[in-house]
Amino acid sequence: MPSSPAPPLRCPLCGRQLTLHTLTGEGSRPSVVCGAGHSFDAARQGYYNLLVGKGTVFEADSADMVAARFNFLDAGHYRPLADAVSDAVLARVRPGTPFTVLDSGTGTGHYLRVVLDAVRGVSDDVTAIALDISKFALRRAARLNPEAFNLACDVWQPLPVAEAAVDVVTVIFAPRNAAEFARVLHHDGRLVVVTPRPGHLASLAAKAGMLAIEDQKDARLAESLAGFFVQESTRDVDIRLMLTPRERADLAFMGPAGHHLDRDALAAKLDTPETASEVEALFRITVFRPGGRPG
């Protein structure tokens, strides 16, 4: 049974190092195994289920919400944002030096795909770890990024990742566990966070009954990371989208509104002549470095 050099992963049950075992027999699947014998097989779709215990009570994105996000992102509408995230990550890659990136709340994996394609041009020794609590999302992510360790886990629990093992953590519209991100990043690592800015998708939000973006988001972001991270830089990315009714419905449904709105009702609401087909997406990419003292 060949096993690769140990990836920077830790057993969610006992904290020991996990080793990757790739079996070659027909029908056999890879697994990650710790020294105490805890073993986690890859699902048929390629991700590892490292969810243990009860975890956080959480309304996971449904298969339909994930499908809407997949369709929308796959059409490339947010590609300028993905490129800007990838620029922020690339700034930390040194030619010929091993590089580890962790995408927390990876969703369908579209942003990580763009990042990995860019990083590959600079370093050929790249380890990618993608975390999400939604198995529907991870199925898509594992297909798009088969070279990554796609892990089902709860970011509010200790992450199944070794200390100081990661060069860059990316968090794109996903929850932020500052203490755990600080633990897994090495001292010169970076945290790259994407958040929406006030006015993001405003014309769509008004029609679809989506939540408006609060003005205080920046302050809240800094506050949520205080004691673990210091803000280093910001970059705003604005994207003017021209969308068909179907694309508008996907965009509305892939966000938090998808949890409480019906897809067909949403599509009907957005398919009226007076609905503007131009929608503005307003993002901020903030780069943080580890620093500050936990309060």
Ligand X SMILES: C[S@@+](CC[C@H](N)C(=O)[O-])C[C@H]1O[C@@H](n2cnc3c(N)ncnc32)[C@H](O)[C@@H]1O
155 vs 210, beta carbon nearer ligand X = 155
74 forms part of the interface with ligand X (CB under 6 A): no
> Considering only residues 74, 98, 156, 259, which one is a binding residue for ligand X as defined by CB under 6 A?
156
Q: Cα(51)–Cα(64) distance, rounded to whole angstroms?
A: 22
Could you give the CA distance from residue 60 to residue 133 in angstroms, rounded to a whole number? Answer: 7
Structure tokens at 189: 């690592």
Select 72 or 99, whichever has its Cβ closest to ligand X.
Answer: 72
Residue 140 touching ligand X (CB under 6 A): no
Q: Per-residue string for binding with Zn ion, 30-49, x by CB under 5 A?
A: ----x-x-x-----------
Point out which span in 9-17, 53-61, 65-73, 135-143 binds Zn ion (CB under 5 A): 9-17
Between CA 249 and CA 74 the distance in angstroms is: 15
Q: Which residue has its beta carbon closest to Zn ion?
A: 11
Q: Where on the phi/psi map is residue 107: left (φ > 0), alpha (ψ -120 to 50), or beta?
A: left
Residue 50 CB, nearest approach to Zn ion (Å): 11
Q: Should residue 13 be labelled a site residue for Zn ion when binding is judged by CB under 5 A?
A: yes
- Are the C-beta atoms of residues 162 and 149 closer than 8 Å to each other? no
Q: What angle do CA 34, 35, 40 make, to 5 degrees?
A: 20
Q: CB nearer to ligand X: give 21 or 194.
A: 194
SS3 content of the chain, % helix, strand, coil (to 5): 30, 30, 40
Positions that interact with Zn ion (CB under 5 A)? 11, 13-14, 16, 34, 36, 38
The residue ranges that bind ligand X (CB under 6 A) are 56, 58, 60-61, 69, 73, 105-108, 110-111, 131-134, 137, 154-156, 172-175
